[in-house]
Amino acid sequence: MKKILFIVPVIAFLVLLFSHPGDVASGCTRGLTLWYTAVLPSLLPFMIVSNLLVATGMFRYLNPFYAPVLKRIFRISEEGCYAVVVGFLCGFPMGAKVIGDLVQKRQISAAEGSYLLGFCNNVSPAFFLNYICLSKLGCRSVPWKLVLLFYGLPLAYGFFTRPLYHFPGSDSGSFAPAAGREKKQASLHRLDFPMLDACMMVGFSTITRLGGYIMLFTILVQFLKLLPLSPSLLALLSGVLEISCGIDQIASAASFSPAVRTALVCTCAAWGGACICAQTKSVLAGTPLSVRTWLRGRITLALLAFLLVQLPAAAPVPYGCW
């Protein structure tokens, strides 16, 4: 039965590939354009630099700026604090990639990585402010209440789910290193050209895989337009599949009121889409971490975003702004 459920969609997708080459070309072009103009320049430099910071251990020099606060809030290690900062600032799927790298390098335990994965992989503030708030929601200025709510939700999720996780040294208040971590990993590794080449190749490999997923899911979104669906349902399904296409269609759907439109756009951004789920699973390959932890966090945050954005005390004003 499982094989049938898997084979049927694959066959249908292959049939559409050969029967609708125009839609395939359109979706492919849009996906590659999105990857080349937005994803590659915004993520690749961070990937290479983050690879170098983790490989050399130099990210520890950044920890004194934020670790004292984050350690007390989330009761995590100093190394885990770096994943929190990157996950909130750099966008999907950099948070998951850094967490996976730290677990692979045995800088943090798998249990701590699983905990961080639930809330440290979010849409970047630049994308949320520029693309979502100003461009798609039509805000005339930065809606700070909406921004604080959107990024406060994952922080609250991380704080309240912390008692569900137990990893070495986290509950004693000492923030001791993970069990089994080698002492030599506490020292810095000298940066040389072989290490730089390796970090660059890992970055290029990861960004290329992400481009493939984006292209695939934008083609799927294009195929959705072949179905006899209403614009509202088409926009919602597009948001389930791919974040940028979904937000674009939801923001332009006339059937949604400003309040519902704002809530749905934030829900789509909090969820990330099936495309981001595939990207996250890709960057976690080779680690003991499961994408299911990320899924639980994303689904919970998406539902909370939809409910809380529509609170009467914070109802959107005209143009969908807060």
Which residue matches tokens 């005339």?
A: 140
Confidence of residue 322 (pLDDT cuts 50, 70, 90): low
d(CA 267, CA 322): 16
Query: By the 8 A CB rule, do 221 and 241 touch?
Result: yes
Task: Tell me which of 320 and 102 has the higher pLDDT.
Answer: 102
Residue-wise pLDDT for 217-238, tens only, equals: 999 999 998 889 899 999 999 9
Residue-wise pLDDT for 16-33, tens only, equals: 777 888 888 998 998 888
Q: How many CB atoms lie within 10 A of CB 222?
A: 23
Query: Model-level pTM?
Result: 0.83
CA distances from 1 to 5, 7, 15, 246 (A): 6, 10, 21, 31
Query: By the 8 A CB rule, do 167 and 115 touch?
Result: yes
Confidence of residue 1 (pLDDT cuts 50, 70, 90): low
Q: How many CB atoms lie within 10 A of CB 292?
A: 11
For the purposes of burial, counting CB atoms within 10 Å of the CB of 180, is it exposed (0-12), middle (13-18) or buried (19 or more)? exposed
Cα 256 to chain centroid distance, Å, stands at 26
What pLDDT is stored for residue 16 in this prediction?
Answer: 78
Average pLDDT, the chain: 85
Residue-wise pLDDT for 73-102, tens only, equals: 999 998 999 999 999 988 888 899 999 999
What pLDDT is stored for residue 314 in this prediction?
Answer: 46
Q: DSSP assignment of 65-109, as one string?
A: HHHHHHHHHH---HHHHHHHHHHHHS-TTHHHHHHHHHHHTTSS-
pLDDT(121) > 60: yes
